[in-house]
Amino acid sequence: MSTWTVPRIKEMKGRQKIACLTAADYATARLIDGAGVQLVLVGDSLAMTVLGYETTLPVTMGEMLHHTAAVARGVTNALVVADMPFMSYQAAVEEALANAGRFLKESNAQAVKIEGGTIRGPLVRAFVANGIPVLGHIGLTPQSVHEMGGYKVQGKVTGEAQALLLDAKELALAGVFAVVLECVPAALAREITDAIPVPTIGIGAGADCDGQILVTNDMLGFRSGISPRFVKQYASIGEQMATAFEEYRKEVEGGLFPSEENCY
Ligand code: KIV
């Protein structure tokens, strides 16, 4: 049993901010866990950051189970949450339950994340009733990129903001242990945080959420393309890797590697 259980994460609301990061592999998960981060999400953003897909939509159950198992092997203390891929939970409750169960049974995750608000109430109830803890996710929900017409801040107009507040309340009532708020105005995130009894985990949602999450590749500077404004880059790993690869190539070409000390 990990140190950071679902009840402990819930109890952190109002006491201590919750630090969360994504991971997709064993080595990174070990480092994140060793740093004391409380929740590790195997986010379906790995579709883009690790697998090179254009959106999160193509990633499969098989791929998510594989990456979740690798992450879980690297984690001792943090809570491991698996993102359910697009169309693994939307079509039917029975299918969703069977798929969610696989993350706990085969990949050693302790909870799953699903996108969507009020519409997911019945599904959250079914998961929780069957012992599967759920992390909600509202605001910018990348699996609905085509419906939203792109990756845009959500809840900027009154009607949208009210709908998101209702979504958060319904998810909390249904039994989620926390809710990710992605790309919503900071004032709305604060209102939602004050209105629900479970922690909010913000990404591009301001400083008043109960916790924060970033995509690890983004915060490490290990990503092609432009980072969204809400990402703070804590390292430039991509640049360091590119420099190392080039130096290696030059040394091999120039006969400098391997040297005496690298030989038997
Ligand atoms: O897939 C992901 O990495 C996520 C986070 C951005 C919350 O859903």
Give the tens place of pLDDT for each residue, 140-169. 999 999 999 999 999 999 999 999 999 999
The answer to whether the CB of 215 is under 6 A from ligand 1 is yes
Q: Which residue has the tokens 């990456």?
A: 67
Express each pLDDT in 83-139 by its tens digit: 999 999 999 999 999 999 999 999 999 999 999 999 999 999 999 999 999 999 999
Q: To test the ligand 1 pocket, which listed residue (49, 64, 181, 213) has its Cβ within 8 A of the most ligand atoms?
A: 213
pLDDT band for position 221 (50/70/90)? Answer: very high
The answer to whether the CB of 22 is under 6 A from ligand 1 is yes
Angle (nearest 5°) at CA 86 between 176 and 53: 125
**Is residue 226 scored above 80 in pLDDT?**
no
DSSP state of 90: S
The answer to whether the CB of 218 is under 6 A from ligand 1 is no
User: From the CA of 41, how far away is ligand 1's center (Å)?
Assistant: 7
pLDDT value, residue 44: 98
For atom 4 of ligand 1, which residue has the closest CA? 43
Q: Which ligand 1 atom is nearest residue 20's CA?
A: 7
User: From the CA of 126, how far away is ligand 1's center (Å)?
Assistant: 23
**Is residue 66 scored above 80 in pLDDT?**
yes
Q: Is the pTM of this model over 0.85?
A: yes
The closest alpha carbon to 81, from 57, 51, 103, 59, belongs to 103
CATH topology for the 6-233 domain: TIM Barrel (3.20.20)
Residues classed as catalytic: 182
**Contact between residue 124 and residue 176 where contact means Cβ atoms under 8 Å apart:** yes
**Contact between residue 190 and residue 206 where contact means Cβ atoms under 8 Å apart:** yes
Q: Is 159 helix (H, G, I), strand (E, B) or coil?
A: helix
The answer to whether the CB of 185 is under 6 A from ligand 1 is no
pLDDT value, residue 228: 86
**Contact between residue 146 and residue 101 where contact means Cβ atoms under 8 Å apart:** no
